[in-house]
């Protein structure tokens, strides 16, 4: 059933991409003829700007980015930051979420702060992280980790709080200690919610990565590649960067969904 649902989801995704690709092809062919190639930026004109590049222009730019190694090096640098940020943020967030859910007083104190930071954009925290942690790699990873930690904290907290009180009463009546209750009752019950929040957090990490790489931007990185393409401007490079990040988000989401489905096979799911 899970395989069938996954196959159906893949077919819908491929159909959507095919329709989008066809629409863009039509729009780019028309745009290359009617859109201006000379635009005004800041205090001067920029010549030969492709506002809606054709597939031929995108292919030419893609070949350049691949042959020069810029794209591969940017993927490696940005991917390592995202991986480190997700690992650190998930560790902190899940631990704090389970700890907060286990104590009512901590719950009352932490809940307003969780809501506050959950809806605070990463760009707003950027100057603060620069002041606290400097312009190096640490501030970039920690900015990504902060967003991941808030989402996974909420997921672990919600999952642990959904355990019925009667389960705790039964465990204590059978002589189970706090450690055993945590390992055999709280954590297994929180796993579905934790995995669901981790799926959201991974996608959010790629978005936050673009903001984090504006901290002392250097090549190679996907965030700086986008910023550099916007400064010149080079629309084909911008579109390739956006599509690359989107593809990474989709791949990460598919991996997180696969792990979620394998780890929670015991749960009932409605058919896709």
How does pLDDT run across 67-91, given as a tens digit for each residue? 988 889 999 989 999 999 999 999 9
Q: Can you give the residue range of the structural domain that contains 21?
A: 1-47
- CB distance 213 to 78 below 8 Å: yes
Residues 6+ apart with CB under 8 A from 179: none
Quick one: which of 226, 188, 197, 186 has its CA closest to 78?
226
Residue whose entry in the numeric block shows the structure tokens 């084909």: 236
The tokens describing 49, both together, are: 């700007």
In a domain, 25, yes or no: yes
Asked whether residue 25 falls in the same domain as residue 110, the answer is no
Asked whether residue 121 falls in the same domain as residue 192, the answer is yes
Whole-angstrom Cα distance, residue 254 to residue 260?
10
Helix or strand (DSSP H, E) at 46: strand 44-46
The tokens describing 231, both together, are: 């400064």
Torsion from C-alpha of 72, 74, 77, 80, nearest 10 degrees: -70
In a domain, 127, yes or no: yes
Specify burial of residue 17 (Cβ count, 10 A radius: 0-12, 13-18, 19+): exposed
More confident residue, 163 or 22: 22
Whole-angstrom Cα distance, residue 204 to residue 27?
30
Question: At CA 139, angle to CA 134 and CA 144, rounded to 5?
Answer: 165
Asked whether residue 21 falls in the same domain as residue 101, the answer is no
Asked whether residue 68 falls in the same domain as residue 135, the answer is yes
pLDDT at residue 181 tops 80: no
Residue whose entry in the numeric block shows the structure tokens 């390592």: 80
Residue whose entry in the numeric block shows the structure tokens 């504006």: 214
Asked whether residue 83 falls in the same domain as residue 36, the answer is no
Quick one: which of 88, 201, 96, 195 has its CA closest to 148?
201
Asked whether residue 129 falls in the same domain as residue 201, the answer is yes
Three-state DSSP at 162 gives: coil
The tokens describing 40, both together, are: 């005004």
Asked whether residue 113 falls in the same domain as residue 165, the answer is yes
Cβ neighbours, 10 Å, residue 19: 10
Asked whether residue 6 falls in the same domain as residue 29, the answer is yes
Asked whether residue 115 falls in the same domain as residue 223, the answer is yes
- In this predicted structure, what is the pLDDT of residue 27? 85
- In this predicted structure, what is the pLDDT of residue 108? 64
pTM strictly above 0.75: yes
Whole-angstrom Cα distance, residue 120 to residue 115?
9
In a domain, 56, yes or no: no
More confident residue, 103 or 129: 129
Sign of CA dihedral 205, 206, 207, 212: positive
- Residue length of the chain: 272
Q: State the total domains in the chain.
A: 2
pLDDT at residue 106 tops 70: no
Asked whether residue 28 falls in the same domain as residue 73, the answer is no
Asked whether residue 129 falls in the same domain as residue 11, the answer is no
- In this predicted structure, what is the pLDDT of residue 19? 87
Kindly indicate the confidence band of residue 25, based on its pLDDT and cuts at 50, 70 and 90: confident
Q: What is the mean pLDDT of residues 134-160?
A: 87
Which letter does DSSP use for residue 40 in this model? E
In a domain, 172, yes or no: yes
- In this predicted structure, what is the pLDDT of residue 6? 54
The tokens describing 194, both together, are: 């934790």
Cβ neighbours, 10 Å, residue 147: 27
Beta bridge partners of 45: 40
């Amino acid at each position: 059933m899970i395989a069938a649902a996954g196959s159906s989801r893949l077919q819908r995704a491929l159909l959507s991409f095919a329709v989008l690709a066809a629409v863009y092809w039509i729009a780019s062919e028309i745009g290359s003829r009617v859109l201006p190639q000379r635009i005004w930026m800041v205090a001067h004109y920029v010549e030969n700007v492709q506002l809606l590049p054709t597939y031929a222009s995108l292919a030419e730019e893609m070949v350049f980015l691949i042959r020069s190694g810029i794209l591969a090096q940017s993927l490696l640098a940005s991917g390592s930051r995202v991986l480190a940020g997700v690992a650190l943020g998930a560790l902190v967030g899940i631990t704090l979420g389970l700890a907060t859910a286990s104590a009512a007083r901590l719950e009352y104190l932490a809940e307003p702060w969780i809501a506050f930071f959950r809806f605070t954009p990463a760009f707003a925290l950027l100057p603060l992280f620069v002041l606290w942690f400097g312009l190096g790699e640490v501030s970039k990873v920690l900015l990504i980790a902060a967003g991941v930690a808030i989402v996974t904290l909420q997921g672990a907290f919600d999952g642990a709080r959904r355990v019925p009180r009667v389960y705790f009463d039964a465990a204590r009546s059978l002589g189970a200690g706090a450690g055993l209750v945590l390992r055999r009752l709280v954590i297994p019950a929180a796993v579905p919610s934790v995995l669901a929040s981790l799926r959201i957090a991974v996608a959010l990490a790629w978005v936050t990565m673009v903001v984090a790489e504006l901290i002392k931007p250097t090549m190679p990185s996907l965030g700086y590649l986008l910023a550099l393409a916007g400064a010149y401007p080079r629309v084909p490079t911008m579109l390739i960067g956006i599509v690359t990040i989107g593809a990474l988000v989709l791949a990460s989401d598919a991996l997180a969904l696969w792990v979620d489905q394998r780890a929670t096979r015991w749960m009932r799911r409605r058919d896709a």
